[in-house]
């Protein structure tokens, strides 16, 4: 049986050998790691949507300058806890204690002793696999409906913006639902059933009324992938989060500009991950990461597409030698002479 697993990892040259090592272990244990190649942008809805279709999350948390770790990987771990999914975190042995919550399954790894630790790592993966179980419980569906998107707080936007967003969602095949703020509490069962089966929610999180706030809390508890928007440039959000996971600022003045931002966020939420089902794809992915590293941490859709093409190209070859994957001297140099890391994942 194949276990689809969300693989949270870094993109830095120093992290390339970690990705390869753990990717091969995952494959040998029957896991199919799903990865998100570098891209120019990301949002929480995309990651939430993908994690819901995986059995759990495995993260590799490695050291960066001054004991810093990737805030993107930390967000993914926290997201996993929010969605109630099991998580296993491999933590580099030079990071401080309690870097992640003690309630999460975790084990240390050393950059100098992979070969000596392989049995401990395999055992941790085996325990995690048993915890997931042979037959993960699927989402309950009484009957299938057209994919749906809920709009919350859109009565605070220009009417033309609201209409254009609805038209764009309809064109993408979504059945659009809007929250009527005049309803009273508690909401009826039909509305809760709709919320439970949403595929996406878009929330303008400014000046929300009592009903809107109730709905906002409900879609969070129901683990609905959510795009957050704000019209307030001074919006007080968690500054510890990477900017990509904070509400996106729209002007609420120029319809075309706001529509472009909102549609861009919808497109991001629909962007797919790549599943690495065998060693060839693991090697091809690691090789592509190593060759596409951006010193500024800036990645474009072109780089993402190039990596995806290299992964698919690996299917056309029966054997791939190590020399065509990752230069071993480069791996050694990455261990011994790590480059300065930037802020991006």
Backbone angles phi, psi at 230, to 5 degrees: -145, 150
Class of domain 148-270: alpha beta
Structure tokens at 194: 């709709």
- The CATH code of the domain at 3-39+56-135+273-336 is 3.40.50
Domain ranges of the chain: 3-39+56-135+273-336, 148-270
Structure tokens at 111: 């950059």
Least confident of 191-205, 228-242, 331-345: 331-345
Closest CA to 168 of 256, 40, 278: 256
Angle formed at CA 56 by CA 51 and CA 59, multiple of 5 degrees: 90
pLDDT at 285 over 90: no
User: Between these two residues, 293 and 281, which has the higher pLDDT value?
Assistant: 281
State the Cα–Cα distance between residues 270 and 174, nearest whole angstrom.
12
Query: How do 87-92 and 105-109 pair as beta strands?
Result: parallel
User: What pLDDT score does 330 carry?
Assistant: 43
Answer yes or no: same fold for 3-39+56-135+273-336 and 148-270: yes
- CB burial of 115-132 (b: ≥16 within 10 Å; e: otherwise) equals eebeeebeebbeebbeeb
pLDDT at 107 over 90: yes
Average pLDDT of every residue of the chain: 82
User: What pLDDT score does 317 carry?
Assistant: 40
User: What pLDDT score does 324 carry?
Assistant: 34
Question: What are the residues whose beta carbons fall under 8 Å from the beta carbon of 170, sequence distance 6 or more?
Answer: 176
Structure tokens at 92: 């580099």
Considering the entire predicted model, what is its pTM? Answer: 0.79
Q: What distances in angstroms separate CA 186 from CA 69, 154, 195, 325, one per listed residue?
A: 43, 21, 14, 58
What is the C-alpha radius of gyration for the chain, rounded to an integer number of angstroms?
21
pLDDT at 14 over 80: yes
State the Cα–Cα distance between residues 68 and 94, nearest whole angstrom.
11
pLDDT at 312 over 80: no
Least confident of 49-53, 114-118, 267-271: 114-118
Specify whether the CB–CB gap between 231 and 252 falls below 8 A.
Answer: yes
% of the chain beyond a pLDDT of 90: 40
User: What pLDDT score does 144 carry?
Assistant: 72
- How many Cβ atoms sit within 10 Å of the Cβ of residue 290? 21
Least confident of 38-42, 188-192, 306-310, 338-342: 338-342
Q: How confident is the model at residue 294 (pLDDT cuts 50, 70, 90)?
A: low
Quick: pLDDT tens for 54-99: 889 999 999 987 668 999 999 999 999 988 889 999 999 999 998 9
């Amino acid at each position: 049986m194949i276990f689809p697993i969300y693989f949270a990892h870094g993109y830095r040259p120093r992290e390339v050998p970690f990705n390869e090592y753990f990717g091969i272990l995952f494959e040998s244990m029957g896991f199919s790691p799903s990865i998100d190649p570098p891209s120019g942008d990301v949002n929480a809805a995309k990651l939430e949507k993908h994690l819901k279709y995986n059995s759990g999350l495995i993260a590799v948390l490695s050291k960066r300058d001054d004991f810093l770790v990737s805030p993107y990987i930390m967000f993914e771990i926290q997201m996993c806890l929010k969605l109630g999914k099991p998580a296993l975190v491999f933590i580099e042995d030079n990071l401080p204690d309690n870097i992640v919550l003690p309630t999460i399954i975790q084990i240390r790894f050393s950059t100098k002793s992979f070969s000596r630790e392989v049995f401990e790592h395999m055992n941790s993966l085996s325990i995690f696999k048993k915890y997931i179980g042979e037959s993960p419980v699927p989402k309950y569906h009484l009957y299938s409906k057209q994919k749906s998107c809920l709009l919350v707080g859109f009565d605070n936007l220009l009417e033309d913006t609201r209409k254009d967003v609805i038209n764009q969602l309809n064109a993408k095949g979504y059945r659009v639902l809007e929250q009527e703020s005049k309803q009273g509490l508690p909401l009826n069962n039909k509305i809760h059933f709709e919320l439970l089966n949403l595929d996406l929610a878009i929330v303008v999180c400014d000046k929300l009324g009592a009903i809107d706030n109730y709905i906002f809390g409900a879609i969070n508890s129901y683990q609905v992938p959510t795009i957050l928007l704000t019209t307030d440039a001074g919006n007080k959000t968690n500054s510890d989060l990477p900017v990509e996971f904070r509400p996106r600022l729209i002007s609420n003045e120029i319809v075309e500009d706001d529509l472009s931002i909102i549609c861009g966020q919808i497109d991001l939420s629909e962007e797919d991950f790549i599943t690495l089902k065998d060693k060839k794809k693991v090697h091809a992915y690691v090789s592509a990461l190593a060759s596409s590293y951006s010193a500024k941490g800036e990645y474009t859709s072109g780089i993402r597409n190039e990596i995806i093409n290299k992964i698919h190209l690996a299917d056309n070859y029966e054997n791939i030698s190590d020399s065509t994957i990752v230069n071993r001297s480069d791996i050694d140099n990455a261990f011994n002479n790590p480059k300065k890391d930037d802020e991006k994942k």
